[in-house]
Amino acid sequence: MRFRVLDGWRGVCALCVALFHLDILSPVYSAGFVRNSWLFVDFFFVLSGFVITHGYAERLATGRVFADFALRRFWRVWPLHIVVLIAFLAVEGARSLIQAQGLVTFADPPFSGATAATRLPSNILLLQALGINDRLTWNGPSWSISSEFWTYLIFAGTLSLSGLAARRFAIFSEMRTTAFVLAALLAASYAALVSLSRDIDVSFNLGLLRCLSGFLAGYFTYRAWCATTPKFGSSAELSVLAVVIVFVATAGHGAASFAAPLVFSVAVYVFASEQGLISAWMSRPLFDWLGRSSYSIYLWHAFIIANLIDRPVQFIAKATHRDLTTFVAGFDGSPLKVITLGGDVASLAVTIAYLATVLAVAGLSRRWIEAPSAKLSGMLFRRRLAP
């Protein structure tokens, strides 16, 4: 069973994250909802926990499919991740050659800072969210992919070991034993996250704790959904959508952001029923396509910003001797440099063009990278697990 509505929301949220990362001053940029759309990464974590539990939890508890599960999840996330990383690497290589020829001297030297060659191994091995680096590196948003992959393994290992313990000692049922262990893991990861950070906006350093908290919240959301089999209609969907919008627009970088796993768990719980008018709308082909393309949207958007917007703007500014940037107050009051194009019309036009480019690239990426890698994965790992 595929939860089409939830998958459609995943695509919408991926676009919101892509819009959040676009630092072009415009009416859209300044909206509180957009400025806080980084919170939708936590929706991804909750939804992953919900969907993975639905698809794999019972078989993982048998302890016989851990290796198959791990390999399948690796081949789901790694191929596109490595292709985008190669694209970043190719750009850095081209910049290095151009600078070596004396044609241009870049303010940010090739293979330095976030794109230093020494940071490649951690990115290749999906380790970039485990505190190895002191900042976001190469394809910044991929920290969440690193977090999810290791969360998959922790989740699968916990289910396998809990199931084994329940069968061997026969004190509690497999489900109760697993639920108890996962509840303890959720409490520990969430408590550590709250104690070590002032808000939930952590990535390269504490990203695994953030992902674990959301993912395990998704696990318990699925268990609650199965136990209650709710049938929510339009009023419930409208209410929870309003709550999500208000929460994202107002939570910001503060203690309230720690409620993200709970807020998004409620949203997933309600929309999993797929009963209301909003669900009917979200079941349309456009949102189905967005959901299927969400991974490509998420992984390509930073590359598009860096190489089709930021660097061309820098080149134009240098060629015309104009300053196309200004400073706005960041979430903590510190100055944040953003691009300014001289008016709302121009900035909105570029924003729309950017989103269109992201969608176009995502469509091509899903067709030519994700689909072939999924097909190859299916050939390599025969059907001990559902694809």
pLDDT tens-digit map of 39-77: 999 999 999 999 999 999 888 888 788 988 999 999 999
Please tell me the predicted confidence (pLDDT) of residue 366.
96
What is the rounded distance in angstroms from the CA atom of residue 212 to the CA atom of residue 152? 9
pLDDT of residue 387: 40
With a cut of 60, say whether residue 384 has pLDDT above it: no
For 338, phi then psi, to 5°, come to: -135, 160
Q: How confident is the model at residue 171 (pLDDT cuts 50, 70, 90)?
A: low
The token duo for 327 is 């400073």
The stretch 166-174 carries a mean pLDDT of 64
| Maximum Cα–Cα distance across the chain | 75
Residue 163 in this model has a pLDDT that exceeds 80: no
Mean pLDDT (whole number) for 100-128: 92
The answer, yes or no, to whether residue 7 has pLDDT greater than 60, is: yes
The pLDDT value given to residue 386? 47
Distance CA 215, CA 50 (A): 7
pLDDT band at 113 (very low <50, low <70, confident <90, very high): very high
State which of 247-256, 259-268, 344-353 shows the largest mean pLDDT.
259-268
- Grade residue 200 by pLDDT with cuts at 50, 70 and 90: very high
Q: What confidence tier does 168 reach under pLDDT thresholds 50, 70, 90?
A: low
Residue 377 has pLDDT above 90, yes or no: no
pLDDT digits (tens, 9 = 90+) for 174-197: 667 788 899 999 999 999 999 999
Average pLDDT, the chain: 92
pLDDT of residue 277: 95
Report whether pLDDT(281) > 80. yes
Q: What is the pTM of this model?
A: 0.94
Which residues have CB under 8 Å from 342's CB, separation 6+?
none
pLDDT in tens, 208-256: 999 999 999 999 999 999 999 888 999 999 999 999 999 999 998 999 9
In DSSP terms, 24 is beta-bridged to: 339
Per the rule left: phi > 0, alpha: psi between -120 and 50, beta: everything else, 238 is alpha
Residue type (1 letter), 316: I
Which residue, 221, 85, 229, 61, is CA-closest to 156?
Answer: 61
> The tokens 């004396």 sit on which residue?
102
How confident is residue 170, by pLDDT bands cut at 50, 70 and 90? low
Which pLDDT score, from 0 to 100, does residue 225 have?
Answer: 96
- Per-residue pLDDT averaged across 107-114, rounded? 91
Helices (H) and strands (E) in the chain, counts: 16, 2
Residues of the chain with pLDDT > 90, as a percent, come to 75
pLDDT in tens, 282-325: 999 999 999 999 999 999 999 999 999 999 999 898 888 888 88
Reply yes or no on whether the pLDDT at 14 is more than 60: yes
Mean pLDDT of 91-102: 93
Q: Range with the lowest mean pLDDT among 13-22, 122-131, 309-318?
A: 309-318
In the chain, where are the structural domains located? 4-380
